[in-house]
Every structure is written in structure tokens, then in C-alpha cells.
């Protein structure tokens, strides 16, 4: 009668092999997640900026065709000119307002009265200015 060797060829995998594999995957996931979040945040910022640039261009066109020659502060008025989301990819609406005399931008530069400011509800997204001429 022949005995099997205790540490001979084995088939299949042990529970420890599965645990070690899961641990490696978990460590890789934890190490990569900050890079993924940063890349996603940067992509959302760029998309938000592009949406606001499109709104600024649509508002410029609206002003050229408007009988009063003024900007609109209603985003829905611009939907006839350009079809763009009225929400930031990170959540929250865009807002537009016309400046009053003596207002300054976020860098401290004075804005001409009647300029348009397009803001996002996310505080870290810088506003876009469409200067009055």
C-alpha cells in the first residue's frame, strides 16, 4: 500500500490564496481611488467650464438679436439658441446676473457696468465674465 506525500502536488486553491488575492485587489483599489476621484473632479470642472462658455456665447448672440440690446439673466431664454445643460456636472444650477457700476471680479479688477457674470453653484468653479462694450 502506497501513502500519499503530505506536501506533494495539490489541485485547486486554498482559502488563504483567495484571501491574499482579495487583499492585493483591495490595496490596489485603495491606492488608485484618490487618482480616480481627482481625475473625475477635473473632468467635471472642464465640462462645467465648457457649459458656461456656451451659455456666454449664447447670451452674446441673444444680446445681438434682442431689441433692447441687453443680456438675459434667464437661462431658459438661451435654450432656443444652444442646447446645454443648466446644471453643473457636480450638481447645482448655473446663475447669471448683470453687473452694476463699481463691481469687481474675483481678482479685484473692476468690471464695466452691464457685464454678464455666469456662476456655478460649486464654490471652487470660477465665474465667467462677458464684458459689456
| Average pLDDT over every residue of 34-62 | 91
Mean pLDDT taken over the chain: 86
Instruction: State pTM to two decimals.
Output: 0.72
The answer on pLDDT for 59 being more than 80 is yes
Q: Cell 447645482, residue?
A: 92
What integer pLDDT is reported at residue 118 of this predicted model?
Answer: 92
CB under 8 Å to 13, separation ≥6 — which residues?
A: none
Neighbours of 89 (CB within 10 A): 17
Q: Is pLDDT larger for residue 30 or for residue 118?
A: 118
What integer pLDDT is reported at residue 29 of this predicted model?
Answer: 85
What integer pLDDT is reported at residue 75 of this predicted model?
Answer: 87
CB 94 within 8 A of CB 55: yes
The answer on pLDDT for 107 being more than 90 is no
What integer pLDDT is reported at residue 105 of this predicted model?
Answer: 86
Q: Is pLDDT larger for residue 10 or for residue 114?
A: 114
The answer on pLDDT for 43 being more than 90 is yes
Task: Tell me the CA distances in angstroms from 27 to 33, 55, 77, one per residue in order.
Answer: 10, 43, 50
Amino acid at each position: 500500500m502506497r501513502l500519499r506525500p503530505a506536501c506533494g502536488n495539490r489541485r485547486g486553491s486554498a482559502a488563504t490564496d483567495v484571501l491574499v488575492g482579495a487583499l492585493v485587489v483591495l490595496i490596489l483599489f485603495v491606492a488608485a481611488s484618490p487618482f480616480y476621484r481627482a481625475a473625475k473632479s477635473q473632468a467635471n470642472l472642464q465640462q462645467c467650464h465648457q457649459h458656461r462658455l456656451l451659455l456666454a456665447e449664447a447670451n452674446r448672440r441673444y444680446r445681438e438679436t434682442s431689441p433692447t440690446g441687453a443680456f438675459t439673466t434667464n437661462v431658459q431664454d438661451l435654450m432656443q439658441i444652444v442646447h446645454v445643460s443648466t446644471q453643473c456636472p457636480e450638481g447645482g444650477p448655473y446663475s447669471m446676473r448683470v453687473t452694476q457700476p463699481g463691481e469687481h471680479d474675483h481678482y479685484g479688477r473692476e468690471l464695466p457696468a452691464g457685464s454678464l457674470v455666469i456662476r456655478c453653484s460649486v464654490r471652487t468653479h470660477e465665474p465667467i465674465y462677458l464684458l459689456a462694450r
